[in-house]
Amino acid sequence: MMINYRNKSISLCSLALVLLTVLSACKKYPNPPQIFEEYGNGINGQAERKVLIINIDGLAGAEVQKVTPPNMATLIKTGKYTYGVLADAVSSDAATWASMLTGVSSAKHGIIDDTYIPVADQGNPDAAVPAYPTFLSRLLDVRPEYKTVTITTDAALNRYMIHADHRILPTNDAAVKDSAVNIVQNNNAKAILVDFRDVEAAGKAVGFNADVPDYKAAIEKTDGYIGEITAALMARKTYATEDWLVIVTTNRGGSDSNPKPGFIICSNPSLKSQAVTKSGFNTMHFSGTSTNAVIKADNGLYDAGTNKDFTVQLQIKMNAANSYPGFFSKSTGVDGGTTTGWTMFQQGTDYGVIFGGSANGGNGKTQLLGNTIVDDKWHTITMTVKLSGGVRTATLYTDGLPVISGDISGTKNLSTSNPLILGHRNVDGSSALDFYAADVEYFNVALDDATVLANIALKDITKHPYYSNLTGYWRIDDGGGAIVANLAPAGYNFLMKGTAVWDALGNDIPVSRDSQNVADGAVSIVATGPDVAGLIFYWLKVPTSSDWSLDGVGWLSNFEQEFLK
């Protein structure tokens, strides 16, 4: 049985922008109905939901697990937790903070350095400068009555969090702790964010390893601060009528030059202790026209040129018959008889490939049609391009068997500056897509018939006879985040664009995978930095909009039976 639930909902700068966002944040819109109205409204004696976020810069999940700090361990006893939060595509301090606060990855928010100024997509000259507000701004817009407090020693971060109702900028972590204790005792804020920096400073000085005494001491000291803050929280006079979610996490494990998986602890008295983990096969759901995995710059590695031999192979499950959308390409797209590069496309229940060299003096369109792949099954699609005796030949294979070959010499040159894209590519105003993919492979040689057939179900890519020629291998089983990791000896990662949704498919797998025998109803969670914003929105019952293009997910919804009353 396929387990197919939505697991991931895989998408301040200058003074002028600050003023603009401040003004826009005060604009009010009609709010859609809240969810779970029967619980947690803070009226009629029901508990009022609040959230405390404690961030520890530079603390990797593995080091937390190694040290087991006592106060964090206490929170874990009533919490869902993971030591393996996926790293963001950009590992700078500002980028990781922006991902956590906006609920979208760096591939969307465009913040790179400590100016917190977003930049446009450098791979798209027509792209606008992105604008993704922080959760503080979102709350001000849709729930202005929800008061917020932030406490950090970092001046740039403090400026970025301008939409908080009350911002505190202490001089050191001890003062951060004192301010936090005071706030949780005396303030009625709905959300409080506390940022500690001593662990990161120790890591930069002696290394981000808890086997080093000074680094371990910094972790233990910060954990002591957490104990004082949570004790003050539980001593609130109104604590019995409140329902607090305490989130302890890190914007980035390790350093910007050596980022490591982070951690998240979500603690509430009603929660049972449980590690959240990935289960079964978790892949990207490519749907619509805007969900794409893109390699922005490949330095010519995937440029087919005039004479390069290459092979492209992927496992694919098409979920619906659609009219002509491209689904894997290194091309300009197709407009009538004009195109440059190659585009795998869907034609109803069948597939095909279009080659062209319009921009390079070649013919505009040479088309090869494959066969049916829309039948609720996984299929292996392979395309080879080979130059021999002055003739360039393309061959398509389905499930290891050759389907069609054709002379594409007339295209002359397939070179294009357009990126390698897995996902929608326009073909003559084509319709949307709906498919899953896995084990995408790119070889810099044209594989022969026997090699293609013998390796369509290969489960260990390192055993491939042409492994040394592999320049891209993307399993697409990351399960979360904006990075689709390349595991080949050479090549680049894909970055997700658009509304990225990771689906947990359990045992519904292609032939190149081993079944994990996942039980029906199993929960699969792969946590990311943007989930912090998603969890805040979920816990505070903030109505979110699809227009926000959030990547972060409030995955505590999987455990509602434990805390809904």
pLDDT, one tens digit per residue, over 225-246 is: 999 999 999 999 999 999 999 9
pLDDT, one tens digit per residue, over 28-41 is: 223 333 333 333 44
Band of residue 120 on the pLDDT scale cut at 50, 70, 90: confident
pLDDT, one tens digit per residue, over 70-116 is: 999 999 999 999 999 998 889 999 999 999 999 999 988 999 999 99
Average pLDDT over residues 467-496: 94
Structure tokens at 292: 């794409």
pLDDT, one tens digit per residue, over 18-27 is: 333 332 333 2
pTM score? 0.82
- What are the residues whose beta carbons fall under 8 Å from the beta carbon of 303, sequence distance 6 or more? 330, 414, 415, 416
Tell me, what's the pLDDT at 273? 97
Average pLDDT over residues 527-534: 96
Tell me, what's the pLDDT at 6? 36
- For residue 88, the one-letter residue type is D
Tell me, what's the pLDDT at 8? 39
DSSP 254-288: E-SSSEE-EEEEEE-TTPPPEE----SEEEEEEEE
Report all structural domains of the chain as residue ranges with CATH numbers, in order of start. Answer: 48-279+530-563 (3.40.720.10), 282-506 (2.60.120.200)
* Cβ 448 vs Cβ 326: under 8 Å: no
What are the distances in angstroms from CA 309 to CA 103, 142, 392? 42, 55, 9
Residues facing 312 on adjacent strands: 383, 442
For the cut 90, the answer to whether the pLDDT of residue 2 exceeds it is no
Residues facing 192 on adjacent strands: 52, 149
Residues facing 6 on adjacent strands: 503
Instruction: Kindly tell me the number of DSSP H helices and DSSP E strands found in the chain.
Output: 13, 27
- 314-346 burial, b at 16+ Cβ within 10 Å, e below that, comes to bbbbbeeebebbbbbbbbbbbeeeebbbbbbbb
Residues facing 292 on adjacent strands: 423, 497
- For residue 176, the one-letter residue type is V
- What are the residues whose beta carbons fall under 8 Å from the beta carbon of 318, sequence distance 6 or more? 346, 349, 351, 373, 374, 379, 434, 435
Tell me, what's the pLDDT at 43? 41
Q: What are the DSSP E strand ranges found in 389-523? A: 391-398, 401-407, 420-425, 433-443, 470-474, 483-484, 494-497, 502-506
CA angle 333, 334, 337 (to 5 degrees): 150
- Local structure of residue 93 (DSSP, 8 states): H
* Mean model confidence pLDDT for the chain: 89
Q: What sections of 59-210 are H helices per DSSP?
A: 61-67, 70-76, 93-102, 106-109, 135-142, 155-160, 173-186, 198-206
Q: Dihedral sign, CA of 303, 305, 307, 311?
A: positive
